Amino acid sequence: MQNLQNMQATLLDPNIQSRRDLYDLISRLADGLPGLTGNSLLLLRLGVPTPSAGIAFPRELQKQMNVQLYLDATPGKHFIRHKRPSTGTDDNVGNDRSASGPIYRLWISRMPVLQKQATIYRLNL
């Protein structure tokens, strides 16, 4: 609870060798954190410490995350897509046309107050 009150973060800075490694790490991390996967992805992308463990990525990894936000795709609904990496020199995962990934619903209203306020501020909602 103290971490939430102070918005302290555990800066997670893994040694990532490829875009595929980053995609796999983020997928496993977001699925393993308590709460909704879409909310966890959004918090990791924005650099807001997660409510359960206070995990945050350094800015460099945040910039490398390949996520796409769909804010107000339908009235009152927000979504986030975690895009799989496309073909590159270090990855053999597909081509640019097949760059897709799972889409998760965002429930910003269900975030703890401090995370909700930081998210709304950073997204200018």
Range of the domain at 19: 2-123
Q: Report the alpha-carbon distance of residue 90 to residue 76 in Å, rounded.
A: 39
Per-residue pLDDT for 87 more than 70? no
Position 1 pLDDT exceeds 70: no
Give the model confidence (pLDDT) of 29-50 as tens digits.
888 888 899 999 999 999 999 8
User: Are 112 and 51 within 8 A, CB to CB?
Assistant: yes
Is 60 exceeded by the pLDDT of residue 98?
A: no
Q: Which residue has the tokens 């709460």?
A: 35
Instruction: Tally the domains of the chain.
Output: 1
Q: What is the pTM of this model?
A: 0.79
80, 41 in Cβ contact below 8 A?
yes
What does the pLDDT average to over 101-108? 91
How crowded is residue 109: how many other Cβ atoms within 10 Å of its Cβ? 8
